[in-house]
Amino acid sequence: MKIDGTGRKILVIDDDLAIRVLLQAVLKRMKFDVELAEDGAAGLDRLQAADGSIDLILLDLMMPKLNGYEFIEKIGERYTDGGRPHIIVFTAAGKRGVDKIPAEAVCNAILKPFDLERFIEMIGECLNKSHAMH
């Protein structure tokens, strides 16, 4: 699947540096503007600083400081009037971890270790949903 990320901004939130670096490299190759955060608290700061320009958030669930569940909750409080970015969650906690998230809060979910091709497909699907909405 060929995705052109020109003009699109993605925020990657994961406490694992290797995953942040990998996703940044892959997404930059597809011309996305990529922001990185090492935990949910830093992710909220980046989101606020971006002032509505984030199209998609790739979010790990299991992190120190502010985990993915708490991040999703905080984002729900912040975007009560809609306009919030799509979220794809990924976790090593298994399906039970994903099932705890309200379905309407996220665009999609994938378990670690994930297939990069499938993950990229999900990114395309989620961004196309947002295109259809505008």
pLDDT tens track for 48-98 = 999 889 999 999 999 989 999 999 999 988 877 777 889 999 888 777 888
Backbone angles phi, psi at 35, to 5 degrees: -110, 145
* Closest C-alpha to 5, from 133, 126, 132: 126
Q: Rounded mean pLDDT of 107-117?
A: 90
In this prediction, residue 133 carries a pLDDT of 40
Phi-psi category of residue 41: left, alpha or beta, with phi > 0 → left and psi -120 to 50 → alpha:
alpha
pTM of the model: 0.91
Q: Cα separation of 54 and 7, whole Å?
A: 10
Listed ranges 28-32, 93-97, 130-134; the one with the highest mean pLDDT: 28-32
Residue 114 three-state SS: coil
Q: Which long-range contacts (CB under 8 A, 24 or more apart) does 44-51 make?
A: 44/71, 44/74, 44/75, 46/11, 47/11, 47/75, 47/85, 50/9, 50/11
Residue 10 three-state SS: strand
In the CATH scheme, what architecture does the domain 9-133 have?
A: 3-Layer(aba) Sandwich (3.40)
Sequence-ordered strand ranges (E) for 14-126: 33-37, 56-60, 86-91, 108-111
